[in-house]
């Protein structure tokens, strides 16, 4: 951390102490971990959104909002006698040093990025309590991201397709099963299987499913807003709307 950031961090801690203190804000004092958690998740997504749009001024603000969440949770934990902000910082410092033995330890050589990631995952796995390889994947993650992580965890134990071709064949199999589903319940189940199989195939291709879908959604939104703004959009039939779409697609 840059040394000139320390006074600002101390000021933020003092503000939170004041807000949660006896003469503080009624709303802030009424909050608990559960009530604040949705805001924490929302702020993390707003950070990601600012990064996606390349808006550095907004990223600065959103990182501040996310930092506030860390301070807020740490203050509530300290009040309950669990831990304080300093313990949070100490824990992540220890973890970063432990997981970078090529920088802070005695790991020999000059590992490349792939080797560093492999070592990180090995150390991370050793830190987990012995149990299922799937333990520790947060239930609150977005469904697509969680599917991706679950699939990757299973793959590390050798339970995986040997190559992208096998994963692709599974996708085609799931499409056929969805086509053959006879009831809404069966269709929903097969649709879930298809989405899960897609994350596995994309992982084999080196594609992050969450990032890919976010980019595709942004592209669709950008193009749709463009055709929606066309004066002829509202009165056009489907073929007319499709023609507008293709024109925008060629132009973008």
The pLDDT tens digits for 32-77 are 999 999 999 899 989 988 998 899 999 999 999 999 999 999 999 9
The pLDDT tens digits for 94-122 are 999 988 888 887 776 678 877 777 777 77
141 falls in which pLDDT band (50, 70, 90)? Answer: confident
Question: How many CB atoms within 10 Å of residue 200?
Answer: 25
Q: What is the pLDDT of residue 109?
A: 67
The pLDDT tens digits for 201-232 are 999 999 999 889 988 998 999 999 999 999 99
**Mean pLDDT for the stretch of residues 139-166:** 91
Q: What percent of the chain has pLDDT over 70?
A: 96
Compute the CA torsion angle 103, 107, 108, 109 (nearest 10 deg). -50
Among the ranges given (8-22, 33-47, 134-148), the one the predictor scored with the smallest mean pLDDT = 134-148
* Residues contacting 9, CB < 8 A, separation 6+: 1
Q: How far from the centroid of its chain's Cα atoms is residue 55's Cα?
A: 19
Query: What structural domains and CATH numbers belong to the chain?
Result: 3-83 (1.10.287.1080), 128-207 (1.10.287.1080), 212-251 (no CATH)
Tell me the C-alpha to C-alpha distance, in Å, between residue 226 and each of 12, 219, 229: 42, 11, 5
244 falls in which pLDDT band (50, 70, 90)? Answer: very high
Euclidean distance between CA atoms 207 and 120, whole angstroms: 20
Asked if residue 1 has pLDDT above 60, the reply is no
The pLDDT tens digits for 173-209 are 999 999 999 999 999 999 999 999 999 999 999 999 9
Asked if residue 142 has pLDDT above 70, the reply is yes
The pLDDT tens digits for 75-89 are 999 999 999 999 999
Q: What is the pLDDT of residue 139?
A: 87
Asked if residue 129 has pLDDT above 70, the reply is no
């Amino acid at each position: 951390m840059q040394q000139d950031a320390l006074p600002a961090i101390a000021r933020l801690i003092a503000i939170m102490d004041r807000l949660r203190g006896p003469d503080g804000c009624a709303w802030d004092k009424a909050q608990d971990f559960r009530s604040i958690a949705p805001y924490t998740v929302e702020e993390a997504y707003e950070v990601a959104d600012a990064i996606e749009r390349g808006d550095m001024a907004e990223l600065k603000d959103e990182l501040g909002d996310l930092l506030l969440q860390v301070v807020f949770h740490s203050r509530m934990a300290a009040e309950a006698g669990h831990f304080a902000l300093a313990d949070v910082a100490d824990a992540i410092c220890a973890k970063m040093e432990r997981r970078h033995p090529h920088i802070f330890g005695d790991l020999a050589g000059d590992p490349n990025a792939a080797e560093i990631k492999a070592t990180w995952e090995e150390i991370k796995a050793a830190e987990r309590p012995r149990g299922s390889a799937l333990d520790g994947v947060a239930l609150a993650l977005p469904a697509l991201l969680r599917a991706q992580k679950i699939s990757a965890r299973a793959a590390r134990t050798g339970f995986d397709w040997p190559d992208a071709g096998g994963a692709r064949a599974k996708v085609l199999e799931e499409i056929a099963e969805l086509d053959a589903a006879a009831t809404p319940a069966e269709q929903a189940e097969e649709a879930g299987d298809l989405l899960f199989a897609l994350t596995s195939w994309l992982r084999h291709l080196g594609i992050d499913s969450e990032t890919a879908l976010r980019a595709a959604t942004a592209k669709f939104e950008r193009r749709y807003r463009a055709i929606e703004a066309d004066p002829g959009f509202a009165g056009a039939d489907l073929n007319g709307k499709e023609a507008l779409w293709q024109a925008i697609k060629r132009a973008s």
